Amino acid sequence: MTVTVAQDTTTMVVASSANPVPAGVGVVYTAPVAGAHGPAMGSVKFLDGTVSMGSAAMDANGTAALSVLMMVPGTHAITAVYAGSASSAGSTSAVLSEVVQAPLAATTTTLTSDANPAVAGQSVTFTAMVAATGGKLAAGGMVTFVEGGTVLGSAAVNPAGEAEWSTAALSVGRHSIVARYAGDAATAASVSRAMNEVVNEGAVPGYFTISVDQITVVAGETAAVPVKVTMGSGSAKAVSLSCSGLPDEASCSFVSGTVAAGGGTATLKISTAGPRDCGSSVPYGLRVTARGCRLRGLC
């Protein structure tokens, strides 16, 4: 009687120690071979497409490992092939897609602000400009704005290579702020130089401003001019108004010369004198009944 002993069937998979991997970095591929009825023995060949990357002997556990330096960017179809032995049948792993990344372009990040110094409560916009090697602008990624160890905010890099972040919450004093670019699939991370943002005290509570529109007053007429008074948050007293520096024979007065605490509008009344007889010594603004005086013209 003839007894035929068939080869044991095997299965295997291939795994990578790093995927994706930057170009020029080593990768270790492992391929454990499992026999249906016991451990397999022999060696395993590793292929990149149809090109052999090398072979490795299996250890006592049936696993082969090969270290490879990946140099060519792109996607590589990696397989492991077990040729078999006298007692074990051969097998081939499924394809592993290994992604090899091109070297990242170096970047520089520059930080500026639109108001330095600023005053407390003022909105300040910080702009981080990210430029890659060769002057090309970074096309993506995130920038975080950091003071010391505290993240103040973050923003995405736009197609112009800029990331903007605004705040009105900076306290009075000097703030050392940096912009940290995280990088993306094509560009490396970078950090700006520290920028000292100075925030000064705001306007002193209790201040007020006066605004008046420019007007033209015809001689002999009277004009009423609104005077707007804006008060600071700490103003608690009324404001009295007066005027000076008018032309000769003109006068001014306020219909109400006091503005209540908190601000408001007062009315300034400006009066001018009308034309008079050239031979008269009567000042402008006085109405005189002239008898026997011949008008010879207007001054």
Task: For residue 9, give the H/E element and its range.
Answer: none
Least confident interval from 14-18, 115-119, 132-136, 267-271: 132-136
Q: Name the band, by pLDDT with cuts 50, 70 and 90, for residue 117.
A: very high
Inter-CA distances, 112 with 163, 178, 179, 292, Å: 11, 10, 10, 81
Q: Name the band, by pLDDT with cuts 50, 70 and 90, for residue 261.
A: low
Residues 232 and 298 in one domain: yes
Residues 38 and 72 in one domain: yes
Separation between Cα atoms, residue 198 and residue 216, nearest integer Å: 44
The residue among 185, 200, 215 that closes a domain is 200
Residues 208 and 296 in one domain: yes
Residues 298 and 208 in one domain: yes
pLDDT of residue 235: 53
pLDDT at 246 over 60: yes
Residues 211 and 291 in one domain: yes
Separation between Cα atoms, residue 140 and residue 167, nearest integer Å: 23
Q: Which residues pair with 265 in a beta bridge?
A: 228
The residue among 101, 117, 138 that closes a domain is 101
Residue 3 lies in a domain: no
The residue among 144, 166, 200 that closes a domain is 200
Domain hosting 56: range is: 10-101
Residue 1 lies in a domain: no
pLDDT of residue 7: 84
Task: For residue 199, give the H/E element and its range.
Answer: strand 195-200
Residues 263 and 285 in one domain: yes
Total domain count, the chain? 3
